[in-house]
Chain A
Amino acid sequence: MGSATLRAILMNEVRVLRSNRALPVMLLGMPLIIIAMLRSTMGAALADVGITGRSGAEQVVPGQALLFGFFMVSFLANSFFREHGWGTWDRLRTSRASRADILVGKAIPWVITSAVQILGLLAVGFALFDLDVPSASGIAAIVLTGLVWAIFVGGFALAVSARLNSMPAVSAVANLGAMFFSAVGGAIVPSGQLPGWATAVGPFTPTYWAMKSFNEVFLESGSLADALPAIAMLALFAVASGAYAWFRFDFDQPKRSWV
């Protein structure tokens, strides 16, 4: 992996990312509206499963951050598919950039954006939505969860890009994945309110483990040590996604951007 070529790809991706004005609306604006509308409802939902005296921010802020953060999968995947649409993929392939330069250089800006999105929404939750600021150890757990989640999202986006051949297919998987993982993972409503089958499926989703880590901190006043098992499970999803992408991404495979 060449540092100059990696930096060139990374900086170019940042330029493209900055030109995308829909991004902050999608990742920050929309979840903030839902958080504002559903906070008290989620307070009641928590009470319904036996967790009383909560504002609801403990459920709705991390839950919506995870739900909308998953849409980052489409944005990162599109950074590969649009190269095909623009006719620049072959030029990239005939450059000095290695396979690792291309995969990592394209993913890093989106992974950082994903981490900023989830941690930024939590920060807004502390400032505006009565989300209680946890202990230093709890904050460390939150930050680590956010970072591992962002890496998972990056790895999953690469895996989806490796597996699928068209952007509409990626979009479908990303949108369905966001809804399904968030629903059965307890990000939309508390896990205790889910039907039995969903509760059983939940642990097989990364969202479940991310929410479990957040719940340890926000609902159980737990420390980093308490959250670590859930974070480790989330990390497993990240590693599995990244490994799949690394071994399955075929740069020779033609891809369609939109049509």
Chain B
Amino acid sequence: MLAATGVSKSYDGTRVLDDVTFSVNAGEVVALLGPNGAGKTTLLSIIAGLRTGDAGTIVIGGFNLASDRAEAISQLAIAPQDTGVQLLLSARQNLEFYGRLAGLSRNDVAAEIDRVAAGLELGPFLDKTTSTLSGGQRRRVHAACAIVARPRLLLLDEPTVGADLEMRGQLLGVVRELVAQGTAVVYTTHYLPEVEALDARVVMLEHGQILINAPLQLLLEEHATSFVELTFDGAAPSVQLPGLSVVRDDTILRAEGPGVASRTAELITALGPDAQRLRGLEVLRPNLDTAYLSLTGQRFTAEVN
């Protein structure tokens, strides 16, 4: 459904995207991950035709964005990172507009509004002017405006930022439903549990380059492992325990290996007098976060490394 090949982009001499190649099939979610500044939003903007890459091609539903822009664009809908709704109109009027703009008939738009409103629980404020809604409610309408267009390719740029847990769960449910119906989804987020909930393929960007491009299950099977992470007041001490790999990272001591969680007490004992400086302890179970840790040696964070 989407094929991005060799996409590069620079701003003022700084390479923001460097030869990025990935694809999304119909009925698949690709979670586009990476720290702030990794190039995720720039990549989405290029796919949506809002910006032009310096190099590379984007093909959407078989249409080349450069040569068949109108056809390519008509396949997609985007919910940009910043909330955008028409504040003088009601939520329903917003949805009607974007549905009609996507070429849906009046009846189809009405049906889609019912479906999206049910999925995201827009009902209580569907006919209220959006300027009177809370930030969270507007965020729902914002995502709904993209979904109501019933696109073949849906681009969601951090759709759950500022959302409560309830909305997060509802949105993930709606996305899963769309994917089951064949929609291709590109989903950027900083919340790794959402990626696991969507069973997405992971495309990890760092400094504009693809670091990881693999199905979630494969990543978890091959790289996810348990860690014990100790945080110290001051530099982490040097510790060695048979059967465990222990590495120091500034104030953090990170231990990995078979049965590491059950050997936590042994680890603390091995600290000796340095145990006095221990300020935090975290046991990380195998998940996408620990897979990322195994691959990069760093915890996944929204901030630029």
Contacts and interface: CB of A to CB of B under 8 A. Distances in A.
Interface string B69-109: 01001101110101111111100010001101111000000
A253 interface: no
B265 interface: no
B86 A96 contact: no
A16 B96 CA distance: 13
Interface in A1-43: 2, 4-5, 7-9, 11-12, 15-16, 19-20
B34 to A, nearest CB: 21
B16 interface: no
Contacts of A91: 78, 80, 84, 98, 145-146
B165 interface: no
A8, A89, A94 — which one has the most chain B CB atoms within 10 A of its CB?
Answer: A94
A15 B93 contact: yes
Interface centre among A7, A90, A97, A98 (most CB of B within 10 A): A90
Contact of B84 (A2, A20, A90): A90
Interface string B142-171: 000110010000000000000000000000
B100 A19 contact: no
Interface centre among B49, B83, B88 (most CB of A within 10 A): B88
Nearest to A4: B103
B32 to A, nearest CB: 17
Interface string A116-147: 00000000000000000000000000000000
A95 B89 CA distance: 19
B97 A12 contact: yes
Interface in B32-52: 48-51
A94 B84 contact: no
Contacts of B149: 95
Contact of B103 (A86, A90, A96): A96
Contacts of A90: 48, 50, 78, 80, 84
A15 B101 contact: no
Size class of the contact patch on chain A: 20 to 34
A86 B85 contact: yes
Contact of A95 (B80, B85, B86, B98): B98
Interface in A78-98: 86-98
A96 B97 contact: no
A93 B101 contact: no
Contacts of B80: 87, 90-91
B70 A86 contact: no
Contacts of A16: 86, 88-89
B85 A88 contact: yes
A7 B96 CA distance: 12
A94 B48 contact: yes
Given A8-B97, A87-B82, A91-B145, A96 B88 contact: no
Highest count of chain B CB atoms <10 Å: which of A2, A91, A97: A91
A86 B86 CA distance: 6
Given A15-B89, A87-B83, A95 B101 contact: yes
A209 B43 CA distance: 51
A11 B109 CA distance: 15
A87 B84 contact: yes
Contacts of A92: 101
A94 B103 contact: no
Nearest to B84: A87
A96 B73 contact: yes
A5 B70 CA distance: 13
A12 B83 CA distance: 19
A3 to B, nearest CB: 11
A95 B73 contact: yes
B88 A19 contact: yes
Nearest to A88: B84
B140 to A, nearest CB: 15
B83 A5 contact: no
B55 to A, nearest CB: 19
7 A-B pairs closest in CB distance = A87-B84, A8-B100, A88-B84, A12-B97, A19-B88, A95-B101, A96-B74
Interface of B: 48-51, 70, 73-74, 76-78, 80, 82-89, 93, 97-98, 100-103, 145-146, 149
Given A16-B86, A20-B88, 16 more contacts: A4-B100, A8-B97, A12-B86, A19-B88, A86-B86, A90-B50, A90-B84, A91-B78, A91-B98, A91-B145, A93-B50, A94-B49, A95-B102, A95-B149, A96-B73, A252-B51
27 contacts: A8-B97, A11-B100, A12-B86, A12-B89, A12-B93, A15-B89, A15-B93, A16-B86, A16-B88, A19-B88, A86-B85, A86-B87, A87-B80, A88-B86, A90-B48, A90-B78, A91-B98, A93-B49, A94-B49, A94-B50, A95-B98, A95-B101, A95-B149, A96-B73, A96-B74, A96-B103, A252-B51
Interface of A: 2, 4-5, 7-9, 11-12, 15-16, 19-20, 86-98, 252
